[in-house]
């Protein structure tokens, strides 16, 4: 009789564990579209200098994602753009350098420092690095380094944006 009770208890325990897994499999993943991941900063290059060095941190602020960081299955970055605005610079000034995330960089060549200048970054290695950063701690640091084409100085706002789809297992 003791063996029968033990067998029954173990069977009930195994059934309970199996049932929890089955219920978990029925709960759909949560998909969150993040269309406004962005960071912005003013770049100031004094007269006589040409060097540009600026870091931007793009953070996921969606509560559903932040509450389930350890359950993120996939982060799919669907776009990365930059925009230049609020420019005070000599007409024809350009920027040459890199946009980087960790050890993944994309080259910028003769980007016009002018109001409304936009660009898109689609390099797979760069996008993959962003996805990995977002997945690990819900933020990514992007650096812009380079030089402007003259020593007249410049001030401008650089805004970087990314769209992503995050899949969270519940």
pLDDT in tens, 15-25: 555 545 554 55
1 has pLDDT over 70: no
H helical segments located in the chain: 2-26, 63-66, 124-137
Record: fold of 28-168 = Jelly Rolls (2.60.120)
Regarding pTM above 0.95, the answer is no
Enumerate the domain spans of the chain: 28-168
28 pLDDT tier (thresholds 50, 70, 90): confident
pLDDT attached to residue 132: 95
Beta bridge partners of 163: 79
Percentage of the chain beyond pLDDT 70 is 84
pLDDT value for 36? 86
Q: Which two tokens stand for residue 157?
A: 């706002």
pLDDT digits (tens, 9 = 90+) for 30-47: 899 998 899 999 999 999
Per-residue pLDDT at 9 exceeds 60: no
pLDDT of residue 33: 92
Tell me which H or E stretch contains 131: helix 124-137
């Amino acid at each position: 009789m003791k063996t029968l009770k033990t067998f029954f208890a173990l069977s009930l325990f195994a059934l309970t564990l199996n049932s929890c897994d089955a219920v978990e499999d029925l709960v759909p993943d949560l998909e969150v579209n993040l269309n406004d991941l962005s960071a912005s900063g003013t770049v100031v290059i004094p007269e006589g200098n040409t060097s540009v060095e600026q870091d931007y941190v793009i953070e996921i602020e969606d509560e559903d994602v932040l509450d389930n960081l350890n359950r993120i299955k996939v982060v799919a970055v669907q776009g990365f753009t930059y925009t230049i605005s609020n420019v005070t610079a000599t007409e024809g000034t350009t920027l040459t350098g890199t946009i980087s995330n960790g050890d993944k960089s994309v080259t910028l060549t003769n980007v016009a420092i002018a109001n409304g200048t936009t660009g898109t970054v689609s390099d797979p290695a760069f996008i993959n690095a962003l996805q990995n950063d977002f997945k690990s701690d819900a933020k990514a640091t992007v650096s812009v380094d380079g030089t402007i084409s003259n020593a007249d100085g410049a001030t401008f706002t650089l805004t970087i944006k990314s769209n992503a789809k995050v899949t969270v297992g519940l």
